Structure 1
Amino acid sequence: MHIELVRRIESSEPDESGMYDYYYEYDIYRFTDGPLSLIARSYTDEPDEAHFLRVETNGSQRALVEADLKHPLFHLAQSHLRSEGKITLRWLSGKGNGYESVPASG
């Protein structure tokens, strides 16, 4: 498994006093094995959380499905994030508020 980590910031322009309407700082993780990549995000103000966002295969993206949670790459990625202190893992399922808890891997 190859892991890439990129820090990103999304924000409005600061006003005269240096305040922002919005400011998001987060890390994007890309876990890759062969043509398959899993993408996850962790906001810096919630350092114990991470969210799996999507799957990428040969440059095309798709939403995660429950079967992806059983893939060996998903288990490796989950283990890596937990080793970094991410105790709350969720995946973008599109149900309810969009995120569901990742079941603990055994």
Structure 2
Amino acid sequence: MEIKKEHFLDKGEQDEHGFYDYYYEGDVYEIAFDTVVYGARSYTDNPQELSFHSRTLPNVKSSSFSHIPYEEKNFFECINHFKDKLGFKNFKILTSSNPSGGYEDVKLEKFTDNL
């Protein structure tokens, strides 16, 4: 597993009181394995949460997840690394199957026993 991390800052216009109409700051991660690359980000206002937003497979364009990949050994290894080594406690994932169209919570207890 190879992890690339890049800090980002995205802010709107500042008003006369010093406030921004929007302000996002955090880190973007690219987590690469031999057969898959995961994209994730965290925000400074919620530093214990990591949100996965994309997955790239060989010879395939980056895409969203169709479901939470509890059965994928690489995803399990990735989650464990960010939890055990980097201190993240909450994980979310953007899936195309979510009826609300947003991020879903990754339930750590749902990873299959065969991993």
Which bin holds the TM-score, normalised by the shorter protein? 0.7 to 0.9
Residue of structure 1 equivalent to 2:54? 54
Unaligned 5+ segments in structure 2 are: none
Once the two structures are aligned, what percentage of the paired residues are identical? Answer: 29
Query: Cα deviation per residue 1:2-40 (whole Å; 9 max; x = unaligned)?
Result: 001111111113234432111000111111012520011
User: In 2, Cα distance between the equivalents of 1:4 and 1:102?
Assistant: 22
Higher strand share: 1
Contact map agreement 1:31 1:73 (CA 8 A) in 2: no
Cα shift at 1:49: 0.8
TM-score w.r.t. the length of structure 1 is 0.85
TM-score w.r.t. the length of structure 2 is 0.79
What SS class does the counterpart of residue 75 from structure 1 fall into? helix
Give the number of aligned pairs: 106
User: In 1, Cα distance between the equivalents of 2:63 and 2:81?
Assistant: 22
Give the aligned residue type for 2:87.
G
Structure 1 runs of 4+ aligned residues shifted over 4 Å read none
Instruction: From 93, 100, 103, give the equivalent of 2:104.
Output: 100
Residue of structure 2 equivalent to 1:30? 30
